[in-house]
Amino acid sequence: MKTRITELFGIEYPIVQGGMHYVGLAELSSAVSNAGGLGLLTALTQPSPAALAEEIARCRTMTDKPFGVNLTFLPARTPPDYAGYIRSIIDGGIKVVETAGNNPAQWLPMLKEAGIKVMHKCTSIRHALKAQSIGCDAISVDGFECGGHPGEDDIPNFILLPLAAEQLSVPFIASGGMADGRSLIAALALGADGINMGTRFLATKEAPVHENVKQAILKATELDTRLVMKPLRNTERVLVNKGVERLLQKEKELGAAITFNDILDEVGGVYPKVMVDGDVEVGAWSCGLVAGLIHDIPTVQELMTRILSEANELVGKRLPQAMQASA
């Protein structure tokens, strides 16, 4: 396949792996890249810039295809050593960085000077236009369906993607609700140049997480996610579990008076307990509505092959037949 995204990133298929906390490690990223997509290591999963440098080097032993790094800029009393992480990215020869969270303008000069293509994750058109204006090379448009942080506007991809196509000049990919060949063709039809998949890649054999996590996604339906931290304007879509139910009860009882400290037990330090230890009930961990479309745990290569086969079937047979029937 050939789109503006495949050309920009030098990949075979316009399919990008989401940068997921405690998931975006060399095992998964290399598998996605080897299958023709773009794998992403998650920088802040690594405890230090030196550890990220080691993970980049480890990924290079597992693939000779392009892969990138996700770097999320978070508000914090003691921010991570972002300059150090970026130095590790540059020194590691990475050519694609997905930024997320706060405005990346402060860090763009370092990245661009090194010849790195930057794709910023946005949940609204106004933020996407801002990212474009400061020099980002591409945008990941995240609809309300996505796992993780869908923003505060609650706009789904059926609206966001056509708006992005009307207003953006840089390439963009669709994130949220992407799972198969139907997702890919629909996203392209709505104007996107490719897709980003997080939850779907989480439920693959190469995803370096506890089997309990994969089974929880496999068992989930489209009704089994919840939105938490909305009163704090830090909304996150997560898989429902006992910890999430406790969190929601606190939100109900405390209302607008709730603080982050009130829910620290349900959101603080949860990811290693879930992804490494397999305690899927401990608290809030990201999962998209797309869980309802996940019915197996294939290898990454099997998943990619299936997506492309479904896409070819749609374009080669179903859509032409539909158009002929209406002629």
Q: Which residues of 133-166 are buried (b: 16+ CB within 10 A; e: fewer)?
A: eeebbbbbbbbbbbbbbbbeeebebeebbebbee
For residue range 91-101, what is the model confidence (pLDDT) as tens digits? 999 999 999 99
Distance of CA 183 to the CA centre of its chain: 15
Q: Is pLDDT above 90 for 285?
A: yes
Q: Starting at the edge strand that comes first in sequence, how are the strands of the sheet with 15-17 ordered?
A: 15-17, 195-197, 172-175, 138-142, 117-122, 96-101, 67-73, 39-42
**Neighbour tally for 14: CB within 10 Å:** 28
Instruction: Write down the pLDDT at residue 325.
Output: 64
Reply yes or no on whether the pLDDT at 324 is more than 90: no
pLDDT of residue 275: 98
* pLDDT band at residue 257 under the 50/70/90 scheme: very high
Give exposure, 103-118, as e/b (b: 16+ Cβ within 10 Å): ebeebbeebeebebbb
Residue-level pLDDT at 326: 60
| Tens-digit pLDDT profile for residues 167-223 | 999 999 999 999 999 999 999 999 999 999 999 999 999 999 999 999 999 999 999
DSSP letter for 124, please. S
Average pLDDT over residues 82-107: 97
pLDDT of residue 327: 59
Return mean pLDDT, the chain: 97
pLDDT value at 231 more than 80: yes
Say what the pLDDT of residue 77 is. Answer: 75
Place of tokens 């800029």: 73
| φ and ψ of 244, to 5 deg | -65, -40
Angle formed by the axes of helices 82-91 and 49-60, to 10°? 20
pLDDT tens string 11-40: 999 999 999 999 999 999 999 999 999 999
Q: Phi/psi of residue 67, each to 5°?
A: -140, 160
Report all structural domains of the chain as residue ranges with CATH numbers, in order of start. 4-205 (3.20.20.70), 211-289 (no CATH)
pLDDT tens profile 42-80: 999 999 999 999 999 999 999 999 999 999 998 777 889
pTM for the model: 0.96
Query: What does the pLDDT read at residue 78?
Result: 85
DSSP string covering 153-202 = S---HHHHHHHHHHH--S-EEEESS--SHHHHHHHHHTT-S-EEESHHHH
The answer, yes or no, to whether residue 3 has pLDDT greater than 70, is yes
Beta strand pairing call for 225-228 and 236-239: antiparallel
